[in-house]
Each structure stands twice: as C-alpha cells, then as structure tokens.
C-alpha cells in the first residue's frame, strides 16, 4: 500500500512540474517585453507564463526571442535578467 501511495505522489509531482528559465530583456514597448531565451525554451504563442513572478502571456515567438505581455513589463529595461516560468494549469476533476 505504501508503494502505491508513493508512486501516486511522485506521478502527481511529475505532472505538475513547471518549466523555468532565465533570459535577458531585449526590448520593452506597450506592456510587452521581448526576452532572449536559450534554445531549450520551448514556449508557444498563447502560453500562460509568469515574468519575474507576475502573470503574463506569450504573444509571439521568433527563434529564441519570446515576446510576453505582462503587467510588470513596463518596469523592465533592455539588458535586465528575468525569470520566465510556465504557469501550471490544472486539468481534470
């Protein structure tokens, strides 16, 4: 019984694990920040993300550059290091 509970807990943790990456702000305009991400950042247009902990949405992806609309984008400037987290979404139930 313990093994079943442990396996269930581990599978639930794996399903809710989130993507997190760091990048450098290239430009900021009209509430949108364009961030240069590494080649391993696999974000898609329309994805819900957090930009330095604040909710945002990916509006464009061009190569390794990701444009994010977020409330805190105006507080950023070119050259700033930022953290981009893919927002976890609950499915089912």
All residues at 6 or more sequence positions from 47 whose CB lies less than 8 Å from its CB, including other chains: 57, 58, 86, 87
Beta bridge partners of 36: 24, 65
Contact between 70 and 40 under an 8 Å Cβ cutoff? The reply is no
Domain regions of the chain by residue span: 19-86
| Each residue's pLDDT tens digit, 18-27 | 567 889 999 9
All residues at 6 or more sequence positions from 18 whose CB lies less than 8 Å from its CB, including other chains: 85, 86, 87, 88
Confidence of residue 6 (pLDDT cuts 50, 70, 90): confident
Whole-structure pTM value: 0.73
| Each residue's pLDDT tens digit, 44-89 | 899 999 999 899 999 999 989 999 999 999 899 999 999 998 876 5
All residues at 6 or more sequence positions from 60 whose CB lies less than 8 Å from its CB, including other chains: 45, 66, 67
**Nearest of 13, 71, 1, 61 to residue 37 by alpha carbon:** 61
Confidence of residue 16 (pLDDT cuts 50, 70, 90): very low
CATH topology of domain 19-86: Elongation Factor Tu (Ef-tu); domain 3 (2.40.30)
């Amino acid at each position: 019984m313990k093994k079943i509970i442990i396996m269930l807990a581990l599978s639930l943790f794996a399903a809710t694990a989130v993507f997190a990456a760091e990048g450098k702000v290239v430009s900021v305009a009209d509430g949108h920040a364009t961030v240069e991400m590494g080649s391993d950042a696999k974000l898609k247009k329309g994805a819900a993300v957090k930009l330095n902990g604040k909710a945002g949405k990916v509006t464009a992806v061009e190569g390794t550059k990701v444009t994010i609309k977020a409330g805190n984008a105006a507080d950023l400037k070119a050259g700033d290091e930022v953290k981009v987290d893919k927002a976890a979404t609950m499915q089912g139930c």
